C-alpha cells in the first residue's frame, strides 16, 4: 500500500487583493489567508494564476509570499508557491530563493509554457529543478495554458524524481491518463485536482485533494466534500459535490479570478473587485449569479470589511 502523500486535502490558491487604484492590499490578503485556513483549508498556494502573478512586481510578489507564510505559520499549515517560467535556469534560481526562506513547503511548477519543449524536454526541465532547486515540487499539468499534454508514462517518471511530490491535475477531463495515474501512483505522490467543476468525481476516483480557486468561498464545504469522499461517505459527498460544481461553474463564467474577486468584494472580504489588465472586471450579472450559489459560505465572510 502506498504511503499517504504529504500534500492532501484542500489547498486554496489565493487571489491578490487590490485597492480601487490597483495597489496591493496586504492587510486584506492577511485576513483572507487567515479566514481560509480557519475554515478548514489544509494549506495555501501563493503566486498562482489566480493571484494575477504576471502583473505583480518583484516587491509585490515578495510581500504576497511573506503575508501568506505568516498565516501558514500561525495555522501550522503548508505554503505552496507558484513558480511559472519556461526558463529552466531562472526557475532554479527562484526555487533556491524560496528554499532559502525556510517557510515554503513546496513549489507549484507548470510544464514549461508556450515554447512546448515536448515530453522529453519537460522531463529534462523537471529533472534539473529536482536536482538543483532544493525544494519539493508539485507539477502543474494544465495543457490549455502550457500548450502541451503529459502522458501517463511521463507523469509516472516525473513522480519518481526525488523532489517531485505531486501533481495538480487540470487537463479538463477525467480520462485514461487520469485513471492510469490513480490506479498506480508513485509512492507518496499526491494527485490534486485542479479543475474545480470536476473535483468531486476526481476525489471519488481516488485523488488526494485539490488546489481549488472556487474554495475562496464555501471553503468549509469544499474541505468537507473532500473529507466525505475520502472516508467513503458517497451519498452526502455526491450531493455536496454537485452543489459545489454549480458554484464553480458560476465562479468561472468569466476569466479567473474576476468573478471570484467580485464575490469576495460583495462579501466584504476584500476592498475592491479590481483586477489588473489585460483582465477586466467581471460583469455585475456574473457576480450576482455566483453570489447566489455562495450562500451558506463560512460565517467569517459575513463581517464588515475593515
First-last CA distance in the chain: 49
Take residue 150 and report the three cell numbers written for it.
503529459
Question: Which of the following is catalytic: 11, 114, 144, 168?
Answer: 168
Catalytic residue selected from 140, 144, 261, 293: 140
How many DSSP H helices and E strands does the chain contain?
Answer: 12, 8
Phi then psi dihedrals of residue 261, to 5 deg: -65, -40
Grid cell listed for 113:
509554457
Q: What grid cell was written down for 71?
A: 498565516
- Determine what percent of the chain falls in helix, strand and coil, rounding each to the nearest 5: 50, 10, 40
The residues near 33 (Cβ < 8 Å, ≥ 6 apart) are: 14, 44, 67, 68, 71, 72
Is 168 designated active site?
Answer: yes
Give the span between the Cα atoms of 230 and 290, in whole angstroms. Answer: 27
Q: Return the number of other C-beta atoms located less than 10 Å from residue 30's C-beta.
A: 17
Active site residue 261: no
- φ and ψ at residue 62, rounded to 5 degrees: -65, -40
User: Any idea which residues carry the catalytic annotation?
Assistant: 140, 168
Amino acid at each position: 500500500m502506498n504511503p499517504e502523500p504529504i500534500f492532501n486535502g484542500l489547498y486554496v490558491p489565493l487571489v491578490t487583493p487590490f485597492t480601487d487604484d490597483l495597489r496591493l492590499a496586504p492587510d486584506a490578503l492577511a485576513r483572507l489567508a487567515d479566514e481560509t485556513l480557519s475554515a478548514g483549508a489544509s494549506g495555501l498556494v501563493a503566486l498562482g494564476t489566480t493571484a494575477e502573478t504576471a502583473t505583480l512586481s518583484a516587491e509585490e510578489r515578495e510581500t504576497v509570499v511573506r503575508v501568506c507564510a505568516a498565516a501558514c505559520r500561525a495555522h501550522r499549515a503548508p505554503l505552496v508557491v507558484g513558480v511559472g517560467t519556461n526558463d529552466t535556469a531562472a526557475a532554479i534560481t527562484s526555487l533556491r530563493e524560496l528554499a532559502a526562506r525556510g517557510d515554503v513547503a513546496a513549489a507549484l511548477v507548470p510544464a514549461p509554457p508556450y515554447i512546448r519543449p515536448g515530453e522529453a524536454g519537460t522531463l529534462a526541465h523537471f529533472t534539473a529543478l529536482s536536482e538543483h532547486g532544493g525544494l519539493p515540487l508539485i507539477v502543474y499539468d494544465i495543457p490549455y495554458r502550457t500548450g502541451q499534454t503529459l502522458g501517463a508514462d511521463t507523469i509516472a517518471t516525473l513522480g519518481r524524481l526525488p523532489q517531485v511530490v505531486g501533481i495538480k491535475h487540470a487537463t479538463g477531463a477525467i480520462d485514461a491518463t487520469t485513471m492510469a495515474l490513480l490506479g498506480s501512483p508513485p509512492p507518496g505522490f499526491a494527485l490534486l485536482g485542479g479543475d474545480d467543476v470536476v473535483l468531486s468525481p476526481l476525489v471519488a476516483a481516488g485523488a488526494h485533494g485539490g488546489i481549488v480557486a472556487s474554495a475562496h468561498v464555501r471553503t468549509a464545504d469544499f474541505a468537507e466534500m473532500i473529507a466525505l469522499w475520502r472516508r467513503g461517505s458517497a451519498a452526502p459527498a455526491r450531493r455536496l459535490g454537485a452543489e459545489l460544481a454549480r458554484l464553480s461553474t458560476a465562479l468561472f463564467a468569466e476569466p479567473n479570478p474576476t468573478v471570484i474577486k467580485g464575490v469576495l468584494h460583495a462579501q466584504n472580504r476584500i476592498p475592491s473587485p479590481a483586477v489588473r489588465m489585460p483582465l477586466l472586471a467581471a460583469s455585475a450579472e456574473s457576480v450576482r449569479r455566483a453570489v447566489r450559489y455562495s450562500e451558506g459560505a463560512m460565517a467569517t465572510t459575513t463581517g464588515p470589511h475593515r
